[in-house]
Amino acid sequence: MRDRLFIILQYLLPQHLISRAAGRIADCRWPWLKNAFITWFVKRYQVDMSEALEHDPTTHASFNDFFTRELKPGAREIEGDERCVVSPADGVISQLGTIEHGRIFQAKGHSYSLLELVGGNPEHAALFQGGQFATVYLSPRDYHRVHMPFSGTLREMIYVPGDLFSVNRVTAENVPRLFARNERAVCLFDTPAGPMAVILVGAMIVAAIETVWAGQIAPTRRQLHSRRYNEVAPSLARGEEMGRFKLGSTVVVLFPAGRTSWDAGLGAGDFLRMGQLIGRQAGEA
Active site residues: 90, 147, 249
Cβ atoms of 175 and 10 within 8 Å: the answer is yes
- Taking the C-alpha atoms of residue 214 and residue 81, their distance in angstroms, rounded to an integer, is 28
3-state DSSP assignment of residue 246? strand
DSSP code, position 120: S
Q: Which of 31, 93, 33, 34 is nearest to 67 (CA)?
A: 34
Question: What is Dmax (Cα atoms) for the chain?
Answer: 56
Cβ neighbours of residue 274 under 8 Å, at least 6 residues apart? Answer: 76, 86, 87, 88, 89, 90, 143, 145, 147, 239
Q: Which of 248, 239, 250, 203 is nearest to 95 (CA)?
A: 250
Cβ neighbours of residue 220 under 8 Å, at least 6 residues apart? Answer: none
3-state DSSP assignment of residue 97? strand
Beta-strand pair 103-107/235-236:
unpaired
At residue 44, what is the residue type? R
Beta-strand pair 250-255/84-86:
unpaired
Provide the 10 A C-beta neighbour count for residue 25. 15
